[in-house]
Structure 1
Amino acid sequence: MSLEQQLSEHFRRAADSLCPPPDRLARVVQRGRRRRAAQGGVIALVAVTAALAVPALVGSLGPARSVSAKSSGPATVSGSPTDASSGDAAALPARGFVASGPRYSSLEELVAAGHLILTATVEDVLAAGSEGPPGEEISHLDTVVRVGEVWKGSAPGATVTVRTLELAFAGPNAKEWRQHGERVVLFLSPSTENEGLYIPAKVNYNQTIYVVTDDDLLATFPDDELAQRVAAMTLPQLRRTVRQG
Structure 2
Amino acid sequence: MRLSSDLQALSGRLGHDFRTPELLLRAVTHASLSSATRPDNQRLEFLGDRVLGLVMAEALLAADPGATEGQLAPRFNALVRKETCADVARALALGDVLKLGRSEMMSGGRRKEALLGDALEAVIAAVYLDGGFDAARATILRLWADRIGAVEQDARDAKTALQEWAQARGLPPPAYTEMARSGPDHQPVFTVEVRLDNGAAETATAGAKRLAEQAAARALLARMETTDD
Which TM-score applies when normalising by structure 2? 0.22
TM-score computed with the length of structure 1 as normaliser: 0.21
- Greater gyration radius: 1
